[in-house]
Amino acid sequence: MARKTVVLLGTVVLVFGLDRFGKYAAMSRLDVGERVPLLGDLLSLTHVESLGAALGLFANWSPGAQALVFAALSLICAGLVLSFHRGLAPGEHGSAAGLGAIFAGVLSNAFDRFRHGAGIDFLHLGTPDAVHLPDFNLADVAILLGVLTLIVELLATEMATRAQERPRRSRPSDNPH
């Protein structure tokens, strides 16, 4: 098995497992809507069931329509991740990890939708009287960090390619005439 595949699968197993553990801990210990501080007022364990997607998209749709849309989006995302993975060069381990994080996040959130009929969020940042940040889960964080990793890898590769293609300027001391 290629190393990039080992990195992808290892990331999927790690992220999926951690997210499932966090969701299990919240669901088994807290009622829906309950919040328990973990790091003072900065970070709390919570149990929230979200019917919508990011920014509340599809929240008012029927459960059947939501299931269809989330299934389609999950399959499209999984297909894109696997397609991009296939196109990675053998040494692109950072991109493989980023793709694995995205895949695991999508998989775990899809699992929630089909098992529980809603997304399960279990983390909350900030104090109740501070700016209201949405509750989230590790799958959400993994998707975000995976996308950021791919962007950084793309930019670094592009910058390196441009640096190699750029003609070197000769300094006056390099010119013998």
Q: Per the domain annotation, does 170 fall within a domain?
A: no
Q: Please pick, among 121, 129, 135, 174, the residue that the annotation labels catalytic.
A: 121
**Cα atoms in the Cβ-side hemisphere of radius 13 Å centred on 50:** 23
112 in active site:
no
Q: Per the domain annotation, does 16 fall within a domain?
A: yes
Of 31-35, 110-114, 126-130, 156-160, the least confident = 126-130
Q: Per the domain annotation, does 175 fall within a domain?
A: no
Q: Please pick, among 19, 112, 135, 140, the residue that the annotation labels catalytic.
A: 140
140 in active site:
yes
What's the burial of 135, exposed, middle or buried (CB within 10 Å: 0-12/13-18/19+)?
Answer: buried
Q: Per the domain annotation, does 165 fall within a domain?
A: no
Provide the percentage of residues in the chain whose pLDDT is more than 70.
90
Q: Where are the alpha helices (DSSP H) in 40-137?
A: 63-86, 93-116
The residue range of the domain holding 89 is 3-53+60-160
Nearest to 105, CA basis, from 26, 24, 11 = 11
Q: Per the domain annotation, does 15 fall within a domain?
A: yes
- The sign of the CA dihedral 32, 124, 110, 139 is negative
Number of domains in the chain: 1
Q: Does residue 123 register a pLDDT over 70? A: yes
Q: Per the domain annotation, does 168 fall within a domain?
A: no
